[in-house]
């Protein structure tokens, strides 16, 4: 069993760390930001003062924080991971951040003799709890093979996409597809409801055809019921689409539908919905239409 440092035990990170613990691995947590979860401590996890101490104790150091600046801080602050890693250790960033920044982070960690994997995940809180996450990995094949038992304790669909940065690129592509599918389902249900049809019955009918999807199944139901507790917050999906649009600018390509979906997310944020689940994108469309599919007729 491995000695694993885990930094970032939030909505996603907490159940991911718990699944590693259930698989028999030893956990080392950093108390530099928030108190370590009591259940992990009760299960044998050790809380240390900062990421440097975690990196000194662990063979694998996993980072699961919200965005690029937080990864930068955890890695390279004065008492950060980079100050504690050495040859033979593997740093695994499972956050969803900039592919460009990831390549730079990897190069700096490699200078210390350690290896670096970017391994963002898809599947949300449900997948994190059930250990069914999809994990998209960028980095050296030998580091991937060493870390594979850890990934298998947290996920099911695990793919080595390519070199450092390619895992993050795959995650950005994933978030484009998810966002556009959410908007497609929201627009369809809004159209049906405004036209006088029962959106629940329309969803039921569409589930049996070519329009069927996991988004229609799960998020379509959330839209109809109005259950928008996260899940995956709109603010985080906005962050991911910003990565897509910034990357498109760097690559000199156009992502018009991604840009449009980002504008609808911005409408949600403007009406107070930054912390709603991303399925609440429909509320942005409803706001613009001055109509709710959940209004009784």
Cα distance between the two ends of the chain: 59
Q: Is 171 designated active site?
A: yes
Say how far apart CA 35 and CA 194 lie, in whole Å.
Answer: 48
Q: Is 38 exposed, middle or buried (0-12, 13-18, 19+ CB in 10 A)?
A: exposed
Please state the φ and ψ torsions of residue 168, each to the nearest 5 degrees. -65, -35
Query: Of 122, 149, 125, 119, which is closest to residue 133 (Cα–Cα)?
Result: 122
CA 212, 217, 218, 220: dihedral to nearest 10 degrees?
90
Long-range contact list for 288-291, CB < 8 A, 24+ apart?
A: 289/190, 289/194, 291/190, 291/193, 291/194
CA 105-110-116 angle, to 5 degrees, is: 65
Tokens representing residue 285 in the block:
């469309």
Indicate which residue of 171, 239, 249, 283 is catalytic: 171
Say how far apart CA 27 and CA 60 lie, in whole Å.
Answer: 10
Say how far apart CA 217 and CA 212 lie, in whole Å.
Answer: 7
DSSP classification of residue 232: S
Residues marked as catalytic: 171
């Amino acid at each position: 069993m491995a000695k694993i440092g885990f930094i970032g035990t939030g909505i996603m990170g907490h159940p991911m760390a718990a699944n590693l613990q259930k698989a028999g691995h030893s956990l080392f947590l950093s108390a530099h930001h928030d108190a370590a979860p009591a259940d992990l401590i009760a299960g044998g996890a050790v809380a240390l003062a900062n990421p440097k101490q975690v990196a000194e104790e662990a063979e694998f150091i996993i980072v699961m924080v919200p965005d690029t600046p937080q990864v930068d801080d955890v890695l390279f602050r004065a008492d950060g991971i980079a100050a504690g890693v050495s040859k033979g250790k593997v740093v695994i960033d499972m956050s969803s951040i900039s592919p460009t920044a990831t390549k730079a982070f990897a190069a700096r960690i490699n200078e210390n003799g350690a290896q670096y994997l970017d391994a963002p995940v898809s599947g949300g809180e449900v997948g994190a709890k059930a250990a069914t996450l999809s994990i998209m990995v960028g980095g050296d094949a030998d580091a991937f093979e060493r870390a594979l038992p850890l990934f298998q304790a947290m996920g099911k669909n695990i793919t080595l996409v390519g070199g450092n940065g390619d895992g993050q690129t795959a995650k950005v592509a994933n978030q484009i597809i998810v966002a556009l599918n959410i908007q497609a389902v929201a627009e369809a249900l809004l159209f049906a409801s405004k036209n006088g049809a029962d959106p629940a019955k329309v969803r039921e009918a569409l589930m049996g055809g070519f329009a069927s999807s996991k988004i229609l199944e799960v998020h379509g139901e959330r839209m109809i019921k109005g259950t928008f507790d996260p899940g995956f917050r709109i603010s985080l999906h906005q962050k991911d689409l910003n990565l897509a649009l910034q990357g498109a600018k760097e690559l000199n390509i156009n992502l018009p539908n991604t840009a449009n979906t980002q504008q609808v997310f911005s409408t949600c944020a403007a009406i107070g919905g930054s912390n709603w689940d991303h399925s609440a994108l429909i509320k942005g469309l409803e706001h613009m239409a001055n109509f709710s599919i959940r209004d009784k007729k």
